[in-house]
């Protein structure tokens, strides 16, 4: 990744580029805990465009920019009405004249792609309906911290194979992990995502396996990942999904099938009592809070690489 490139999907990276970002994230986190980061983004400003609510994305990006000596400008959903009040290309052209980088949290992936196409500054995908690369980078950083390496690990994703699953699968297969996705029929990985990840796995010595049995997915796994059963924008499907997904709940009985030192991950917000139980979320194998903190450190690596 060179300056003025974009960060739209982990699938756009080579294994070397992904590893370099993770190494930088580790270093920046170590530096921050030792007393603070160097102001490598002094006098730089990141525009943060939101079309949906956020806790972790907004705060982690804002604090990441502050730690690196820069500024973050929050633009609320009603202020731009991306693609409605003003076209996406025009928003990209205008913001490029004001700021040094754009982070966008959008519904449609096409919007972040269009921002990148028309912007003169780096564009970072803060979440789209296709992928969530910032979360994926934080997930990999968390697994790396707990396990020391990613290549050769078995990582199980249980539940709805959504945008978060896409990023996890892309990143983990790029780095040579064995990924199992346990999801009901009709809720598994998109065919194009699975095909691309399988190519990554073949090149990196890992594997991708999809199955409908959640127990088989987690058996002997080093890490178990889950997410909400109904994502933002899918509220009309909530009742139907609530009937389909209960067997995929990450509870203590399911976790017991994994390795004794397995960690449990969730991108948050969690619907406790649905996809994950309190016992697991707050239990000794939970890595949820380190994972949430790592959004900030992973994003520092992206910001420093693109805007430094």
**In the structure encoding, which two tokens stand for residue 118, read together?**
């028309």
Q: Which of 6, 56, 105, 178 is catalytic?
A: 105
Our answer to whether residue 240 is catalytic in this structure is no
What does the alpha-carbon distance between residue 171 and residue 145 come to, in Å, rounded to a whole number?
15
Cα(54)–Cα(27) distance, integer angstroms: 27
- Residue 295 among the catalytic residues: yes
Tell me, yes or no, if 132 is annotated catalytic: yes
- Judge whether 182 and 218 are in contact, CB under 8 Å: yes
Look up 192 and say whether it is catalytic: no
- Per the CB < 8 A criterion, the answer to whether 40 and 68 are in contact is yes
* Catalytic residue (one of 135, 249, 285, 291): 135
The Cα–Cα gap between 285 and 147 comes to 13
Which pairing describes strands 71-75 and 101-105: parallel, antiparallel, or unpaired?
unpaired
Q: Does the active-site annotation cover 105?
A: yes
Out of 56, 266, 295, 297, the active site residue is: 295
3-state helix, strand, coil in the chain (%, to 5): 45, 15, 35
Instruction: Give the dihedral sign, CA 58/59/64/65.
Output: positive
Whether 111 is a known active-site residue: answer no
Which two structure tokens, joined as six digits, stand for 38? 């160097």
Catalytic residue among 58, 67, 132, 196: 132
Residue with tokens 């509870």: 251
Choice among 227, 266, 285, 299 that is catalytic? 227
Q: Which helix (H) or strand (E) holds 114?
A: helix 109-118
Cα angle at 131 between 160 and 303, to 5 degrees?
Answer: 140
The residues carrying an active-site annotation are 105, 132, 135, 227, 267, 295
């Amino acid at each position: 990744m060179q300056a003025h490139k974009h960060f739209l999907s982990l699938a756009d990276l080579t294994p070397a580029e992904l590893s370099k970002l993770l190494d930088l994230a580790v270093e920046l986190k170590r530096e921050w805990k030792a007393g603070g980061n160097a102001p490598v983004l002094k006098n730089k400003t990141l525009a943060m465009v939101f079309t949906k609510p956020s806790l972790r994305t907004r705060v982690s990006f804002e604090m990441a920019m502050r730690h690196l000596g820069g500024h973050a400008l929050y633009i609320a959903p009603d202020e731009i009405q991306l693609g409605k009040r003003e076209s996406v290309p025009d928003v990209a052209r205008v913001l490029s004249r004001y700021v040094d980088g754009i982070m966008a949290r959008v519904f449609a992936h096409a919007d972040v792609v269009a921002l990148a196409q028309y912007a003169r500054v780096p564009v970072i995908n803060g979440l789209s309906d296709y992928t969530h690369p910032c979360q994926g980078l934080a997930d990999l950083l968390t697994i790396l911290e707990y396990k020391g390496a990613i290549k050769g690990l078995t990582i199980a994703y249980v539940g709805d194979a959504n945008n978060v699953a896409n990023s996890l699968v892309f990143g983990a297969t790029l780095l040579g992990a064995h990924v199992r996705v346990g999801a009901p029929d009709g809720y598994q990985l998109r065919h194009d995502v699975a095909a691309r990840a399988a190519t990554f796995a073949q090149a990196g010595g890992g594997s991708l396996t999809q199955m409908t049995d959640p127990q088989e997915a987690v058996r002997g796994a080093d890490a178990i990942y889950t997410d909400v059963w109904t994502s933002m924008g899918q509220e009309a499907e909530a009742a139907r999904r609530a009937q389909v997904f209960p067997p995929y709940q990450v509870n203590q009985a399911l976790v017991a099938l994994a390795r004794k030192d397995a960690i449990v991950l969730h991108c948050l917000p969690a619907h406790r009592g649905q996809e994950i139980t309190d016992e697991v979320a707050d239990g000794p194998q939970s890595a949820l809070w380190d994972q949430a903190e790592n959004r900030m450190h992973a994003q520092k690596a992206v910001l420093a690489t693109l805007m430094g």
